[in-house]
Amino acid sequence: MRVLVFDPFRGAAGDMVCGALLHLGADADLVSRAMRSVVAEPVIAEVKRGGIRAVRVDSRAPVVSRSLSEVHALVKGADAPAEAIAMACRVFDRIAAGEEAIHGANPHFHEAGADDAIAEVIGACTALHSLSVDRVVVGTISLGGGTARSAHGTIPVPAPATLAILQESGLSVQYGTKEEGELCTPTGAALLSEFATIPRSAPPAGRVVATGYGAGDRDPPSIPNVLRASIIEASSIVGGDEVDILETNVDDVTGEVLAGCIDRLMEMGARDVCAVPCTMKKGRPGYLVRVVSFPEDSARLALALARETGTLGVRCLPSIHRFVAERETRVVSVELCNRKWEIPVKCGVLEGEIFSLKAESDRTREVAGACGIPAREVARLAEEKARKAAQRKDA
C-alpha cells in the first residue's frame, strides 16, 4: 500500500504542494496541461532552498478576484481527470466556507480566488491523482506568526480563514513566531485538509520509496522554505490517532444533570462521552463519567466536566492510541408514502471496503413519524440502498 506523507514543518501553500508532488514523480505534462487550461503555461523549475533541491511552480497568473461559481466554472472546464476536477471543486468549497465563517457572505474570494490559486489547486489535485497513492497522512502544520497584508488590510498570522479551514479538518497545527510571518496560506490549508485520508495519524511503518520538496517564494538563511513529501510502501494500514481519556466518579448528581453534562461536552468537541454505573465508597451508587478528547481540547473539557457535575477532580489518561476507521456519509433517496426522502447514511471503511452502515437516527425518526412506520424499517431501507450503491461503485 502506497502512503503519501506530507511534512509541513515550514507550512504549506498551493505552489509548494504542487511542487512537492511533482518532485515526488507526479506527471509533469499532465499537471502543466491542467494548469494551462485554466490560466497559462506554468513555469516548473528546480531551485534550491537552504541548500535543498526543490521544485518551484510559478502559475504566471494575473491577480483576479472571482466568485465561487466563477471558480467552479473554470475548474470544471479544466483539461484534467474528472477525479482531480471534483477534488479541486471541494478544495474551493473549503476555502469559501472558511472565508464566509470569518467575513460573512461575500460575492468574491480574495487572495484564494485569484487565478494563481485556481491554477495551483487544479495542478496539485491533478498531481495527486497521477501518483495513485492509497492513503495520505498530513503531519503537524507550522502556521507562522506576526502579521500579513491582505485584502482586509493587516491581519494576524495565521490568517483567520486559514484557521477556520484547519478547524474543520482536525489536522494538527503549531504556532510560530512573528519573525516567521505567514507559513500556511488558506490554499495550502484547504489542499492538505482535502488530501488527508488518515486524520491526526502518525505515518505508518514501511519503506520510503520517494521524497520530494516543494519550494516557497522566500529563501531564508535559517531554515529551508520547503514542503517535504514522501511516499511510503506499507504492508498494511491501521488508521488511528492520539486521544486523551478524562474520567471522574460522581455520586451526587441527578440524571438530568448528567444528561445535560453529556450534551454539553459533546457540543464542546468531545469525541465521545459515556456514564458507567458503579458502586462508590460507603456503598453509594454512582457513575464513572468518561470523556474521549483530542489532547488540545482536554483542559477546557475537564473544566467543563467539573463545572457541570461539581466534581473536585478529573483524571487524565494522556496520549492513548485510538484505532479509527475511515468514515464517510452517503445520502441516499428512499421512496416511502409516495414520496422520496433523502437520508444520510454513515459508512465505516476499512482498507477500501465498507464494513459498517448506519442511517442517521434523527432523520430516520423524522421519516418514520411522517410515514407512520417503525424507524428501524426506514433505517433498513436506507442502509440497503447505500450498500447496493457501494457495490455498484466497486464493481
Model pLDDT, residue 140: 93
Whether the per-residue pLDDT at 12 is higher than 90: the answer is: yes
Instruction: Decide which of 176 and 324 is more confident.
Output: 176
Strand order through the sheet with 240-250: 272-279, 285-293, 240-250, 315-323
176 is written with which cell numbers? 510560530
Cα(21)–Cα(19) distance, rounded to whole angstroms?
Answer: 5
- Mean pLDDT within 211-227: 95
- In this structure, are residues 258 and 289 in contact, taking their beta carbons and an 8 Å threshold? yes
- In this structure, are residues 236 and 266 in contact, taking their beta carbons and an 8 Å threshold? no
Confidence grade of residue 62 (pLDDT, cut at 50, 70, 90): confident
Looking at domain 326-394, its CATH architecture is Roll (3.10)
The angle at the Cα of 237, spanning 233 to 240, to the nearest 5 degrees, equals 130
Cα(191)–Cα(7) distance, rounded to whole angstroms?
Answer: 14
Task: Give the pLDDT confidence of 17-26 residue by residue, as tens digits.
Answer: 999 999 999 9
Model pLDDT, residue 294: 86
Taking alpha carbons only, the member of 222, 284, 218 closest to residue 253 is: 284
Instruction: Decide which of 153 and 213 is more confident.
Output: 213
Whether the per-residue pLDDT at 81 is higher than 70: the answer is: yes
- According to CATH, the superfamily of the domain at 242-323 is Transcriptional regulatory protein pf0864 domain like (3.30.70.1380)
Model confidence, pTM: 0.64
Give the domain ranges of the chain: 2-233, 242-323, 326-394
Instruction: Judge whether 242-323 and 326-394 match in fold.
Output: no
Task: Give the pLDDT confidence of 348-391 residue by residue, as tens digits.
Answer: 887 778 889 999 998 999 999 999 999 999 999 999 999 888 88
User: pLDDT above 90 covers what percent of the chain?
Assistant: 68
Model pLDDT, residue 109: 63
Cα(120)–Cα(21) distance, rounded to whole angstroms?
Answer: 12
- Mean pLDDT within 64-92: 92
Taking alpha carbons only, the member of 1, 4, 11 closest to residue 224 is: 11
Taking alpha carbons only, the member of 280, 213, 177 closest to residue 12 is: 213
Per-residue HEC secondary structure of the chain comes to CEEEEEECECEECHHHHHHHHHHHCCCHHHHHHHHHHHCCCCEEEEEEECCEEEEEEECCCCCCCCCHHHHHHHHHCCCCCHHHHHHHHHHHHHHHHHHHHHHCCCCCCCHHHCHHHHHHHHHHHHHHHHHCCCEEEECCEEEECCEEEECCEEEECCCHHHHHHHHHHCCCEEECCCCCCECECHHHHHHHHHHCCCCCCCCCCCEEEEEEEEECCCCCCCCCCEEEEEEEECCCCCCEEEEEEEEEEECCCCHHHHHHHHHHHHHCCCCEEEEEEEECHHHCEEEEEEEEECHHHHHHHHHHHHHHHCCCCCEEEEEEEEECCEEEEEEEEEEECCEEEEEEEEEEEECCEEEEEEECHHHHHHHHHHHCCCHHHHHHHHHHHHHHHHHHHHC
- Which range has the worst mean pLDDT, 95-104, 128-137, 272-281? 95-104
How big is the chain by its Cα radius of gyration, in Å? 24
Model pLDDT, residue 297: 86
